[in-house]
Each structure stands twice: as C-alpha cells, then as structure tokens.
Structure 1
Amino acid sequence: MINEFKDFIAKGNVMDMAVGIIIGAAFTAIVTSLVGDLINPIIALFTGGIDFSGWFYTLDGSDQSSLDAAREAGVPVFAIGSFLMAVINFLIIAFVVFMLVKMVNRVKAAAERPDEVVPEVKSGPSELDILIEIRDALKR
C-alpha cells in the first residue's frame, strides 16, 4: 500500500495539480484584492456607493431593522440584496479575470513570435540539384 501511495504521489499529474491549486489560491487573493480594493471603489464613485446587501424581505411578515438582526432572531429571510451583490461581484471578477487572461495570452504570443524572420537566401544550386546533375552525368 505504501508503494502504491508513493507511485501515486510521484506521478506528474498529482504534482501539477498541487502546484495549480497553490497558484490558484494565490491568484484568488490577488483578484479579490484587485476587485475589492481597486475596482469596487471606482464603481462606488460612479454609482454613489449603492449597496444592495441590506435589501431583504422577511418571509414571516415580521418587521426587522436589518438583515443581521433578522438572521440573529432566526427569522426566515429572503436576502435578495446579498444575492444581487454576489452576482455583481461575480461579473466584475469574471471580467477582471478575462482581462488578465487576455493580457497574459498577448504577452505569451509576443514572446513566442520570432523577432525577425530572415528570408533564406539561396546561393547557387541546392544539394538535390547537384546530386541530380551527378546522376545524369553518370547515366551518360
């Protein structure tokens, strides 16, 4: 059983997956900070700081002053504002990730593209032409 475990761990796929998960966690922190600390304040500047997270309905008809108070009281709550904020944040994060991937692909394509393509200049007959001439000369 230990040998099977060693074989499993030693496979390249497991190590690649582990590196991917670690890099993904670090990338998540970067994207979360980018959206929360840089993009959301700019959006709040233009929208006047609209926050839907306090928009909720109690399903039992009771009157609650805030969503947190309703949840603490154990009241069934339809928290439409929290859902809307989650959808808006998802769309912002998806757009930011799209732009980052697009930028990385552009940089990767520029790195893979050769700097300058030098046309091949033929100076005289090719090796094949010379061999054909030799063959024809031997036939004669």
Structure 2
Amino acid sequence: MQVVKEFREFAMKGSVIDMGIGVIIGTAFGKIVNSLVTDIIMPPIGLLLGKVDFSNLYINLTNTPYRSLAEAKEMGAATINYGMFLNSILHFGIVAFATFLTIRQINKIRRTPGASITSQQCRYCFSTIHTDATRCPNCTSMLVENKQKSYSSPKITFKAS
C-alpha cells in the first residue's frame, strides 16, 4: 500500500499534471501541423516540382506495377514510402521551428529590459540578501568595505617627563 500512496503523491504533483496537459496540447498541435504540412505546404511544393504528390512517392519492392501507393497498400505490396518520409521531415522541421519561436517569445517575456537586480548572494553563507546591504543579516559578515568616513578616536601622545 505504501507504493500506491507514493504513486498518488507523485501523480498529484503540479509538474506531472502540467506535463500531462502539455502532452495533450502537443498532440492537438501535432495534428494541426500535420494538416499544415500535408494540405497547405506540400501541394504548392509539389506543383513547383512538376505536379508531384509527395505522399504518393514510393518504391515498389515487388514485380507487380501499381498506379498509386494506396493501390499498392491495398494489395499488400512491400513498398518504401519515401514521400511520406519527406512529409515527416518537413513536419518535424515546422514543429521544431514553431517550438523555437515559442521558447524565444517566452524568454523575451521573462527578461524585462531595464530591470535591476535587487538581490545578491552572501559570499560567506550563500544566503540571498538585498544588493544595498553592507552586512549580511544571517551571518553578520561585512559585505563591502565601509565607504563612509570613519571617525577614529583622537590620538593621544604621552611625553615622558
């Protein structure tokens, strides 16, 4: 029963739930990108390359000729579907580029220009403290040399008589 309890605690953590939501959204995004590649991008490329339908490009490994990939698949023929592979490579490229643009935007949002750093790390106890602090509140170490005028006691000299 301990394993079930540990698994339930693990599954209910926020990061696991966020990851699950990311997978679901990623699957839906994958379908959109797949449609973008097969229905919008590849037809004009095929037209430019001489009215070629990339999804129908294949190498027939049998001696029987077929008019299309669908007909060859229907008959159970062994084929190498390099057109579908080209579509998959383009699909991957688009997903990678879209991911890059998304992460780039997130990083721009995180970096606020002109934001000043308001904390530093104590070099003695490694706690986080304000940048204007001259003494660490945790370990009481001096952080910067005192730049104020130091008043020392007057020098007293004694003369021997």
Compute the TM-score of the two structures, normalised by the length of structure 2.
0.59
Structure 1 or 2, whichever has the larger Rg, is 2
Partner Cα distance (1:20, 1:54) in 2: 36
Is residue 59–residue 81 contact of structure 2 (8 Å, CA) maintained in 1? yes
Of 61-70 and 28-37, deviating more is 28-37
> Could you say which structure has the higher helix fraction?
1
For residue 76 of structure 2, give the secondary structure of its aligned residue in structure 1: coil
Alignment of 1:1-140 (within 5 A): 1=1, 3-11=2-10, 15-30=14-29, 32-33=31-32, 36-37=35-36, 41=40, 44-45=43-44, 48=47, 51-110=53-112, 114=115, 129=148, 132-133=150-151, 136-137=152-153
Q: Mark the runs of 5 or more structure 1 residues left unpaired by the alignment.
A: 121-127
The aligned amino acid for 1:102 is R
Q: How many residues align?
A: 125
Q: Which residue number in structure 1 is paired with residue 128 of structure 2? A: none
Is residue 33–residue 91 contact of structure 2 (8 Å, CA) maintained in 1? no
Partner Cα distance (2:77, 2:88) in 1: 22
Partner Cα distance (1:138, 1:8) in 2: 72
Q: Which has the higher contact order (CA 8 A, sep 6+)?
A: 1
* % identical equivalent positions: 21
For residue 29 of structure 1, give the secondary structure of its aligned residue in structure 2: helix
- Over 3 Å counting, the alpha-carbon distance change for 1:88 and 1:75 in structure 2 is same
Compute the TM-score of the two structures, normalised by the length of structure 1.
0.66
- Over 3 Å counting, the alpha-carbon distance change for 1:82 and 1:113 in structure 2 is same
